[in-house]
Amino acid sequence: QEEDDGSTTAEIACQLNLTGPEGYIEAPPQSSSALHSTVDCSYVITVYMGYGVEVQVLNVNLSEGDKVVFEDVGHGENTMLANESILMRGLVVRSHSNQISIRFHNQRSRVGSVLLRYQAFVLSCVFPQRPLYGDVSVSSLHSGGEAFFSCLTGYQLQGSSVLTCRNASTPYWCGKEPHCLAACGGLIRNITVGRIVSPGFPSNYSNNLTCHWQLEAPRGHRIHVHFEKVALAEDDDRLLIKNGNNIDAAALYDSYEVEYLPNEGLLSTSRHLFTELTTDATGTSTAFAAGHCYEPFVKYGNLTSSDNTWAVGAVVEFACNHGYTLEQGSVTIECMDPKNPQWNETEPACRAVCSGEITDSAGVVLSPNWPEAYDKGQDCIWGIHVEEDKRIMVDIQVLNIGKNDLLTFYDGDDLTAKVLGQYGGSKSIFKLYTSTADLTLQFQSDPATNVYGYGNGFIVHFFEVARNDTCPELPEISNGWKSSSHPELVQGTVVTYQCYPSYQVVGAELLMCQWDLTWSGDLPSCERVLSCADPGKVEHSRRVLSGPHFTVASTIQYICNKGFTLSGNSLLTCFNRGSMGPKWNQKLPGCLKSSCLLFVGILIIAPSLIWFWYNAVYHIVLLP
């Protein structure tokens, strides 16, 4: 367009709303050679509900002062996903909704540029949180999928047992996740293994509660009760366990009469036990057949047995879960005495202890008494040592301690080493790396403050890793090859996977070595192409498809609109070219504008000829 001062500028299509499932963006477009003092480009990509937008940076050439901003705009509020500070070739940005905005700004006459590729991907609901003392499973995380919740024995589900993933700009579950609460009493039939917990456990129970549990084993079995924890708040709180199915049966245990808990547990003489409970207590019950010992139990551990029916002569060996130490009891026990089968030793206990020296290549450090609360005034030190030519990666999965408590990581084998980090209060998941083969952890709890409840403490995983700063080598893939942006797999290296002809990449084509020396995604694969690509539409025409997908043998027929004439073949067929993969048998036709002229002539020759000249129509094709 002409301006008053005589200068000439060219309009650049820099404000676009894109709705296709995939495409490319070049900012600014290179269609104009005119110079501009300021370039502002804005692109908004919108895909179907339930889908997100994945943007891959194919090329980037920015100058100082250039601005590039990626924002998720599908929630009504803009959320920044990335900007020019991290923009690099191979970067992949994903939206959390079905809409993403990309803005490019430059104030120089010689502009920088970016080349982007975008495509839609299926969004999903986040995996629902597993209820404490319960479990969750899902049929699918996509729209229409369902999540199913259940509770452990002794707990009741509060809330909906089934949630459905609903379609939206960002898919979401139709309600809040339920939780599991300890029930006050109940009848439990045909028990094999179960647990009784006081209402509200592990928190304190309420006042003025009277809870009755009636336990019933299968016929021919008896019941063994093993005490995990009993804590009576007041002298008038009472725990009664009766050797029968009602309150009038003989007492096996009465907290009023006995000051200690029997280490060996309690055995019923019949298939019934009756419990009256007004305490903060948990117990595990097990049914067992006559002539057999009861099924042993170890909390926070596991066991192996020479005989899973627990018959006389069965030998059981116990082991603790990672992070726990075997205490009390014996590592192995044996079922003795055919007349009155009993274990020769009590089961051991597994407990998270304060301090220790660890030389394993991988493991877990837990706060003392985890998952129960740690004690006040503790000063615990753990030393972790791996092979001399290695170093240690520390993965802190849980950190939820008091604000006056401290967890300190030292980059060495004692408290004089460099501090990697010192933390108090709560913090989300994070990782640390040592520079040596040794790590020292110190935990100090405030001597003046008590911590209550489950889940207060920390879980620290550690792994032996190589000393260099490279990601692990990625394998080759069948029917394809890989290329790397850097000869060494250092942080930021991008590995690109490509496929041979007639194959296509399934999964991420680009994998990046991240700051924690892990790859940004899973290994892709090359799958054989079983369909032709969409040949596209022809201007001034409509097309008729033989099916919804362009598989081998499918067809597309192009029909020109009125006033246009077909140039080329109207029917395209997808067929397999062997090693070259499926291709269309013809090129796209064209629809060219046509004109009709009617010539009327009068010839006195014969009636048939006169009829011919009156009805003859000649088509003249007008070429552009």
DSSP annotation of 270: S
Q: What is the band of 286 on the pLDDT scale with cuts at 50, 70, 90?
A: low
| Cβ–Cβ under 8 Å, residues 439 and 188 | no
Q: How far apart are CA 388 and CA 488, in angstroms?
A: 23
pLDDT score, position 410: 95
pLDDT score, position 3: 38
pLDDT score, position 259: 64
Q: What is the band of 612 on the pLDDT scale with cuts at 50, 70, 90?
A: very low
pLDDT score, position 289: 58
Write 602-609 long-range contacts (CB < 8 A, 24+).
none
Residues 6+ apart with CB under 8 A from 161: 148, 149, 150, 178
Q: What is the pTM of this model?
A: 0.40
pLDDT tens digits for range 201-219: 655 667 778 888 899 999 8
pLDDT tens digits for range 564-587: 999 999 999 988 776 677 888 889
Domains annotated for the chain, with CATH where assigned, are: 15-122 (2.60.120.290), 134-182 (2.10.70.10), 186-350 (2.60.120.290), 356-466 (2.60.120.290), 480-528 (2.10.70.10), 541-594 (2.10.70.10)
How many beta carbons lie within 10 A of that of residue 178, not counting itself?
23
Between 30-34, 379-383, 573-577, the lowest mean confidence (pLDDT) is in 30-34
How many beta carbons lie within 10 A of that of residue 258, not counting itself?
11
pLDDT tens digits for range 45-94: 999 888 999 999 999 988 888 899 999 998 777 889 999 988 899 999 99
pLDDT tens digits for range 222-281: 888 877 666 665 566 788 899 998 888 998 888 888 766 676 678 888 999 999 877 654
How many beta carbons lie within 10 A of that of residue 290, not counting itself?
8
How many beta carbons lie within 10 A of that of residue 522, not counting itself?
9
Q: How far apart are CA 178 and CA 149, in angstroms?
A: 7
pLDDT score, position 203: 59
Residues 6+ apart with CB under 8 A from 319: 301, 302, 303, 304, 326
Mean pLDDT of the chain: 82
Mean pLDDT for 152-160 is 84
C-alpha torsion sign, points 407, 408, 414, 415: negative
| pLDDT of 303 strictly over 60 | yes
Q: How far apart are CA 379 and CA 408, in angstroms?
A: 11
- E strand or H helix that includes residue 196: strand 193-197
Residue with tokens 């650049």: 12
Q: How far apart are CA 287 and CA 215, in angstroms?
A: 10
Distance of CA 517 to the CA centre of its chain: 19
Write 583-588 long-range contacts (CB < 8 A, 24+).
583/532, 584/532, 584/535, 588/535, 588/536, 588/538, 588/558
Cα-based angle 298, 360, 472 (whole degrees, multiple of 5): 120
pLDDT score, position 343: 84
